[in-house]
């Protein structure tokens, strides 16, 4: 597989990685043309010439991934030159490190009217999303043709666990009758966001139930409910807009959630 084909695949899979590419090479260098994929853990595919220069480029790529910013780095491959690295080639190398950041993914727990409205809005905004539900008749490819995945199981906890929640997951709970189960399960993962559509009375009831089951007050404080930005929303579509608006706002803040380990 060509390296750029792998870049396209990783991007479609919503992975985080960097692509390091030689953009200028002067004098004697190990390689004048080269590309290299660098993953968050420092593993690579491809090469920009090997040796000490490549080691430094990998190091800078990992830092760029952590910072979430692309950059250009330059090295003098001459141990006798000022600011040079311990190499004898004598040339100079400039490398562009392009960071590909994974995009937030909506996990829409509930395939009813509001879940459907949220999916249509996500389609318009090109936000990837999956659907979680316990009803086969609702969680279908016909209703959600652009969903990345459909997770349906009569046990909605199993359906949500199959979604493999992570730090890019933005969980919206709009289930028929499984909000408490879904919320408790979601809070056990390092998700970016969780919001639940519920009345004040329902929120109090669910929170008290979950606290009795071992969920901490600190975790519950991270739940967005009432969900969505306050904008006087009334219709299903307006509520969907307020929820997506809140998720966009939270995604810019990028604060990890505190989690409780699965027992």
Tens digits of residue pLDDT in 136-145: 999 999 999 9
What would the pLDDT profile of 87-128 be if each residue is shown by its tens digit?
667 688 889 999 998 888 999 999 999 999 999 999 999 899
- pLDDT for the residue numbered 169: 94
Q: How confident is the model at residue 52 (pLDDT cuts 50, 70, 90)?
A: confident
> How far lies 64's CA from each of 16, 36, 38, 101, 170, in Å?
11, 14, 10, 11, 24
Asked if pLDDT for residue 54 goes beyond 80, the answer is yes
H or E element, residue 169: strand 169-173
Q: How confident is the model at residue 255 (pLDDT cuts 50, 70, 90)?
A: low
CB neighbours of residue 105 within 10 Å: 21
Find the distance separating the first CA and the last CA of the chain, reported in whole Å. 41
- pLDDT for the residue numbered 23: 94
Cβ 53 vs Cβ 34: under 8 Å: no
Q: Which residues pair with 36 in a beta bridge?
A: 20, 46
Put simply, whether the predicted model's pTM sits higher than 0.85 gets the answer no
Average model confidence (pLDDT) across the chain: 90
- pLDDT for the residue numbered 63: 95
Phi, psi of 57 (to 5 degrees): -65, -40
Rounded mean pLDDT of 196-221? 94
- pLDDT for the residue numbered 256: 53
What would the pLDDT profile of 76-89 be if each residue is shown by its tens digit?
877 767 666 666 67
């Amino acid at each position: 597989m060509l390296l750029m084909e792998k870049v396209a695949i990783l991007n479609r899979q919503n992975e985080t990685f960097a692509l390091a590419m030689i953009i200028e090479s002067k004098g004697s260098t190990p390689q004048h043309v080269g590309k290299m994929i660098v993953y968050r853990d420092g593993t690579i595919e491809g090469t920009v010439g090997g040796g000490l220069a490549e080691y430094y480029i990998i190091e800078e790529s990992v830092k760029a991934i952590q910072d979430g910013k692309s950059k250009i780095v330059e090295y003098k491959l001459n141990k006798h030159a000022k600011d040079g690295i311990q190499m004898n080639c004598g040339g100079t190398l400039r490398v562009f490190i392009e960071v590909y950041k994974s995009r937030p993914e909506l996990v829409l727990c509930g395939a009813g009217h509001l879940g459907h409205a949220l999916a249509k809005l996500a389609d318009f905004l090109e936000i990837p999303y999956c659907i979680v539900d316990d009803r086969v008749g609702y969680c279908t490819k016909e209703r959600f043709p652009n969903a990345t995945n459909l997770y349906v199981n009569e046990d909605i906890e199993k359906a949500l666990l199959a979604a493999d929640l992570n730090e890019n997951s933005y969980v919206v709970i709009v289930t028929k009758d499984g909000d408490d189960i879904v919320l408790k399960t979601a809070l056990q993962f390092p998700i970016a966001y969780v919001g639940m559509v519920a009345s004040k009375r329902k929120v109090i009831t669910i929170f008290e139930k979950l606290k009795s089951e071992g969920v901490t007050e600190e975790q519950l404080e991270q739940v967005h409910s009432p969900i969505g930005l306050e904008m006087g929303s009334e219709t299903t579509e307006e509520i969907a807009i307020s929820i997506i608006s809140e998720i966009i706002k939270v995604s810019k803040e990028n604060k990890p959630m505190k989690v409780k380990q699965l027992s």
